């Protein structure tokens, strides 16, 4: 069974979607640890409710970025973590963690990368005037939202959308594709060559187009 470690900074709805997928039997995995940089993150309550160990650790307690991420890597490794999930972790992850978990750290981004990386992907998309946006699960490399793309889901952008209404439509898809990407990983179906991800026997599963027409 796959052992997962989750990093989250906030409300943790993606974290919850992963917990729910495990509890329903969709995902055969175990969450060994929640790491958070925010002592007031709602994700902590979710972890406690499901008896998941929590580690609160803040960069300011460390002399530099390298030692902070080395510490996190060590805590994850000590618990046998094989896959690291960034579920709303609001920091650019340091090299010290990436090198320990190369192509074993997944992030979810609320836009169709490579468009609109960084913060507020939903607002960027809506301000730009695109007609389709969505979300992307990708492996984490040293850049900001630049790593190999695993799965994307598309949603329509309506003229009267606000940042909130678009975010909500995208979030529903995030909750579907993140557990699914983890499931594919746990089944050994994901291979990465340079920056291209192949999914064994599931090529079409990497694309989820789901326009909820109204």
Q: Which residue has the tokens 């094989």?
A: 82
Under the phi-then-psi rule, with left for phi > 0, alpha for psi from -120 to 50, and beta for the rest, what region is 193? beta
CB of 201 to ligand GRF, least distance (A): 27
CA distance 75 to 164: 36
Site string for ligand GRF, 95-134 (x = CB under 6 A): -------------xxx------------------------
Q: Which CB atom, from 70 or from 161, has the smaller least distance to ligand GRF?
A: 161
Residue 119 φ/ψ, nearest 5 degrees: -75, 155
Q: Which CB atom, from 22 or from 87, has the smaller least distance to ligand GRF?
A: 87
Return the residue of 3, 11, 20, 210 that touches ligand GRF, per CB under 6 A: 11
Return the residues of window 164-193 that contact ligand GRF according to CB under 6 A.
Answer: 171, 174
Among 14, 32, 7, 12, residue whose Cα is nearest residue 177: 14
Report whether the peptide linkage leading into residue 43 is cis, meaning its omega lies within 30 degrees of zero.
no
Please confirm, yes or no, whether 109 is among the known catalytic residues: yes
Task: Tell me if 152 sits within 8 A of 206, measured CB to CB.
Answer: yes
Q: Which CB atom, from 8 or from 199, has the smaller least distance to ligand GRF?
A: 8
Return the residue of 6, 87, 181, 182 that touches ligand GRF, per CB under 6 A: 87
Q: Which residues contact 78 (CB under 8 A, 6 or more apart)?
A: none
Among 208, 204, 194, 178, residue whose Cα is nearest residue 18: 178
Please name the helix (run of DSSP H) or strand (run of DSSP E) that holds residue 33, with its range, or none: strand 29-36
Q: Which CB atom, from 109 or from 169, has the smaller least distance to ligand GRF?
A: 109
Q: Find the catalytic residue in 50, 71, 109, 138.
A: 109
Closest chain position to ligand GRF (CB): 88
Q: Does 88 bind ligand GRF (CB under 6 A)?
A: yes
Q: Does 12 bind ligand GRF (CB under 6 A)?
A: yes
CA atoms in the 13 A half-sphere facing the CB of 128: 15
CB of 121 to ligand GRF, least distance (A): 7
CB of 193 to ligand GRF, least distance (A): 25
Residues that bind ligand GRF (CB under 6 A): 8, 10-14, 87-88, 108-110, 171, 174
Q: Report the catalytic residues.
A: 109
């Amino acid at each position: 069974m796959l052992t997962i470690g989750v990093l989250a900074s906030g409300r943790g709805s993606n974290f919850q979607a992963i917990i729910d997928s495990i509890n329903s039997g969709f995902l055969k995995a175990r969450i060994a640890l929640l790491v958070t940089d925010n002592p007031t993150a709602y994700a902590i309550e979710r972890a406690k409710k499901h008896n998941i160990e929590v580690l609160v650790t803040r960069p300011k307690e460390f002399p530099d970025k390298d030692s902070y991420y080395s510490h996190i890597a060590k805590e994850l490794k000590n618990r046998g973590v094989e896959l690291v999930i960034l579920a709303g972790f609001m920091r650019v992850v340091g090299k010290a963690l990436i090198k320990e978990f190369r192509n074993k750290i997944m992030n979810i981004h609320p836009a169709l990368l490579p468009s609109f990386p960084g913060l507020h992907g939903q607002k960027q998309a809506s301000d730009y005037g695109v007609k389709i946006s969505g979300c992307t699960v990708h492996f984490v490399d040293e850049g900001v939202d630049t790593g190999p793309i695993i799965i994307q889901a598309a949603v329509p952008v309506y003229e009267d959308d606000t940042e909130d209404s678009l975010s909500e439509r995208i979030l529903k898809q995030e909750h579907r594709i993140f557990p699914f990407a983890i499931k594919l990983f746990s089944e050994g179906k994901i291979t990465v060559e340079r920056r291209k991800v192949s999914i064994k026997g599931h090529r079409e599963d990497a694309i989820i187009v789901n326009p909820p027409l109204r």
